[in-house]
A and B are shown apart, each in its own frame.
Chain A
Amino acid sequence: MEIKIDLISEDKINSMSSMEKLRFILDGVKSGNIVILEGGLSSEEQMKLIELTMTEVDDDFPGIEISGYPAKRSFLNLRKKTRLTVIGPAKVMHTIKQDKDLISAVVSAV
């Protein structure tokens, strides 16, 4: 079985509203794809994604696996800059190890 990986640019993500972003990600993941976002999601968006995911969990879709680099404070510590986020179907993707600058995951076809 093939697994598709979608690498989404920061420009594309920024052009979407918050809900569009979440819908786009979840539709991709429910189709079995792994979605990698340049620029990542904020922690508020990730929480909303978890909430949205929970409304769609069923026998065939147990949920998502999500990993990301933590946000960094920008100049003068005023704004948090989000970084890369990886989201995949929980059935397919499993994070082995994660720290501030490294995500190690296995992807296995079912």
Chain B
Amino acid sequence: MKLNRWRKGILSRLLRVLFFRKVTAKIGIYGPPNAGKTTLANRIIHTFVDENEDMGVSTEVPHETRRAVRRKGILIDLKSKSVQNPHLNATTNPDSMSTSTSTSDSKSKQREGKAKLKLDIVDTPGLATKIDFHDFMAFGLEEQEAKKRAKEATEGVIEAIKWLDDIDGVLLLMDATEDPYTQTNIVIIGNLEARSIPMIVVANKMDLPEAAPQRIVDAFPQHPVIPISALKGENMDELYKEMARRFR
């Protein structure tokens, strides 16, 4: 049964790649609450679409995003990006921690540098195994409001899981200041592997002094890990290049 599902997954992906390749890939931004998913979504929109457009509001209150939000038709144009956003190249650009074997190929890098990638971004609610309304009250919300938000957050988790059926690639965000070896991260990665959905692990918040992206590399060595700061726009070029490699 499982083998059949696995074969079917591989076969359908192969057919899609060979014959039914989508012009626009749907890329889901997944991760636990407060990893910076909406901040990253906004960063991508600001860079490639409109500096004044936001996909959502990001705050320190967990589960701020409680409905998946899709932004269609984003053109990731690596060639023109540096022209559009000259400041991004001036940001910190540490060595890529990607474990991808293709990164060393200079010819493919040259191609990637000119790559255009059209995609839809889906900013999903944070995945969690527990949602306690008391946690929202700690941020100053009234009890009724906290309960309402908790209810919406549970629906958001379900919605994020359902979206996995309709997604072509995933940016899996992790907070680089926290222990990455959580069951939620393991479950997401396990599901993406089982569905053969390409993913990039994004180690966010690298601008913070306590950030340790190497922990994420050590925890998930089988996947490319790109350290970034979505808030400050650090190392975004590396992420866009990896997206062009993985999601085209």
Contact = CB atoms under 8 A, between A and B. Distances in A.
A79 B3 contact: yes
Interface residues of A, number: 28
Interface string A93-104: 001011100000
B49 interface: no
Nearest to B192: A43
Nearest to A46: B187
A90 interface: yes
B132 A63 contact: yes
A62 B63 CA distance: 14
A64 interface: yes
A2 interface: no
B129 A63 contact: yes
A63 B130 contact: yes
A107 interface: no
B190 A46 contact: yes
Given A50-B127, A53-B129, A44 B190 contact: yes
A54 B157 contact: yes
A46 B183 contact: yes
Contact of B190 (A43, A54, A65, A98): A43
Contacts of B182: 98
Interface string A64-102: 111110110000001100000000001000010111000
B183 A66 contact: yes
A50 B164 CA distance: 14
A84 B171 CA distance: 28
Contacts of A42: 2, 190, 194
A20 to B, nearest CB: 15
B114 to A, nearest CB: 36
Contacts of B188: 47
B161 interface: yes
Contacts of B131: 54, 57, 62-63
A11 interface: no
Given A43-B190, A50-B187, A79-B2, A98 B129 contact: no
Contacts of A15: none
A55 interface: yes
Nearest to A62: B132
B199 to A, nearest CB: 13
Given A43-B186, A59-B147, 10 more contacts: A42-B190, A43-B190, A43-B193, A47-B164, A50-B127, A62-B130, A62-B134, A63-B128, A71-B190, A90-B130
Interface of B: 2-3, 127-134, 147, 150-151, 154-155, 157-158, 161, 164, 179, 181-184, 186-191, 193-194
Interface of A: 42-44, 46-47, 50-51, 53-55, 57, 59, 62-68, 70-71, 78-79, 90, 95, 97-99
Per CB-CB distance, the 5 closest pairs between chain A and chain B, nearest first, are A43-B190, A63-B130, A90-B130, A62-B132, A54-B154
